[in-house]
Amino acid sequence: MKILCVAEKPSIAKEVSKILSGGRFQVRNSQNKYIKNYDFKFSFPNQANCDVTMTSVAGHLINIDFPPSFQWGKCVPGKLFDAAVIEKVLKQDIFDNISKEARNSNKLMIWTDCDREGEYIGYEIFKAANKGNRQIEVGDIWRSKFSHLERNHVLRAANNPIKLDLKAVDAVSCRMEIDLRVGASFTRLLTEGLKSKSIIDKGDVASYGTCQFPTLGFVVDRYKRVKNFTPEQFWYIQVDLEKDDVKCNFNWTRGHFFDRLHVMNLYQECLKHKEGKIIKLEQRRTTNWRPLPLTTVELQKDCSSIFKMSAKDALGAAEKLYNRGFLSYPRTETDKFPASFDFKTIFGRQKSDPRWGNHATELFDNGYENPRAGKHDDNAHPPIHPVNYVNINELAADEKKVYEYVVRRFLACCCKDAVGQQTTATLKWGIELFTANGLMVTERNYLDVYPYKKWESSKQLPKFQQGDMVSIKNGVMKDGKTSPPNHMTEAELISLMDINGIGTDATIAEHIEKIVSRSYVVKQKKGKVEYIIPTPLGMGLIESFDKMHFDNISLSKPFLRKKLELSLDQISKGETTKETVLEDMKMLYRQAYSISNQNMVNLVDHCKTVIQANS
């Protein structure tokens, strides 16, 4: 029996070959210098001592496009909604290598990443294999289910193959076709319109994407809120007390008012009293929760805010660590560990590290807490966690930060929550109430291994007793002004995209990178914080589309893309079909295209006005 195994990346093919063969394999070159063919023996279920060839692709093998008669300049963009779609091989040498290796194979086994995109790449691999051997049929494909490259995990995946998920394949195919038709039609329409008024240069492209523009819309909306913000003055009362040489500030429970005269009247009533009374003294145990298990979105957000690393760079570093067997698969929505997860083995592998090894040893020797369980499970991969140990001094700068962060987060998940003692004193001065708080952290627990979260003891309150009469050392009426929101950070943008269903956990970074590369936004550093600011062109595009009336459709808001993502989930679950979703989404976007086309002159003129006003 001859088995052809195909992985999604060359590094995965090499690592899996080492594990399945016990290190005893032969290597053959292919026409592509990065793609190797590994030959060895392995016994699969009910198939002992099989001849195995393991090879790989390098991402997608096949793309979809329009025929030559529908290329740019050869048809009006609106025709692309119903034009034929053809497949094009992206990497012919890799495609041919799979076809050649399949000729003498009895079985095809897919080793692509276990997500929706991986299923589709697996189907592309099938097409290449089927071209070389028509006896290989899609229903007979073995599909390995794995999330990291630990030896026993890979062996279990080899010995328990599943079927290729054709519903997931349909979902990706649907998304690709919608993105092609909508993106190409609107991009051509926009580009030609903007060039006609010299808003963009002759060689430039003003691209539109169903994720790209809602992402840009979030940035523009925040920018406008900051720009249009008008500060308002407010007034409040603050009380300073001192007892036993300990000073503390009491804050007014009413907060503040925008009516100066009203606050002045209340303050005048307070001034009639020289003393205040501690009417309530509360002490309670308070908890600072350890973090939830790590998802892709949280990884990108934290790396952005903690290390000032772009989402693209953070995910790229995590993928390199995964490909080398150090981390689990970094594209996951799951924030709960399965009941069968082997925590102690992971602790044991981290015990030798001088930075966090003592914490791993403590958990290994003296027990650990079961991690908190979140509400999300993509039923494909566990949360991101360390798999094998590596000395971080051997890693590149970004990989070092990401690996240490993932390890410390994993260990923190298995520690106890931090505990503190919260004291709240309530002061009555006249008829007004004021409160002061003090915090004593009594058990740091997870905070000791997780330095990215700060929770410190605050200045302690004086030793008040309930019923104490205290002299008012300083009771003042103060004023302030409301502050504008900050501009958008990348971490905030990732959160907004995730909440609104713009892209997936795996593609969020790509969409942000796209609006940067198109010069729709720029990144600007203010102090230690980097913000994302729209360019005049980005502002002009969003404001121009917002000015149109699309009958409950918006091209700059997240609703249409969120509807598509929900529909793709329904395809994956078998609740609807690819054909139904395609027709539904094409109808909505075709309607928006028609309105945009009819109003293109007004759109371009308004865009130019906005650009000039913001330049």
Contact 585, 253 (CB under 8 A): no
Q: What are phi and psi of 503, to 5 degrees?
A: 75, -170
Question: 3-state DSSP call for residue 87?
Answer: strand
What one-letter code names the amino acid at 294?
Answer: L
Q: How many CB atoms lie within 10 A of CB 60?
A: 15
Alpha-helical (H) ranges within 480-577 are 490-499, 508-517, 536-547, 559-572
Q: What is the C-alpha to C-alpha distance for residues 446 and 385, in angstroms, rounded to an integer?
A: 16
Q: CA angle, corner 582, sides to 576 and 584, nearest 5?
A: 85
Q: Which residue is catalytic, options 38, 322, 329, 589? A: 329
What one-letter code names the amino acid at 85?
Answer: V
Greatest Cα-to-Cα distance within the chain, rounded to the nearest angstrom: 98
Q: Residue 566: exposed, middle, or buried by beta-carbon count in 10 A (0-12, 13-18, 19+)?
A: exposed
User: With b meaning 16 or more CB within 10 Å and e meaning fewer, what string describes 418-453?
Assistant: bebbebebbbebbebbbebbbbebeebbbbbbbeee
Q: What is the C-alpha to C-alpha distance for residues 264 and 103, in angstroms, rounded to an integer?
A: 89
Alpha-helical (H) ranges within 22-142 are 92-102, 116-132
Annotated active-site residue 405? The verdict is: no
SS3 assignment for 250-266: EEECCCCECCHHHHHHH
Matching residue, tokens 């679950």: 573
Strands 418-429 and 432-443: antiparallel
Q: How many CB atoms lie within 10 A of CB 288?
A: 18
For 232-288, list the strands marked E by DSSP.
Answer: 233-243, 246-252, 275-288
| Catalytic center residues | 329
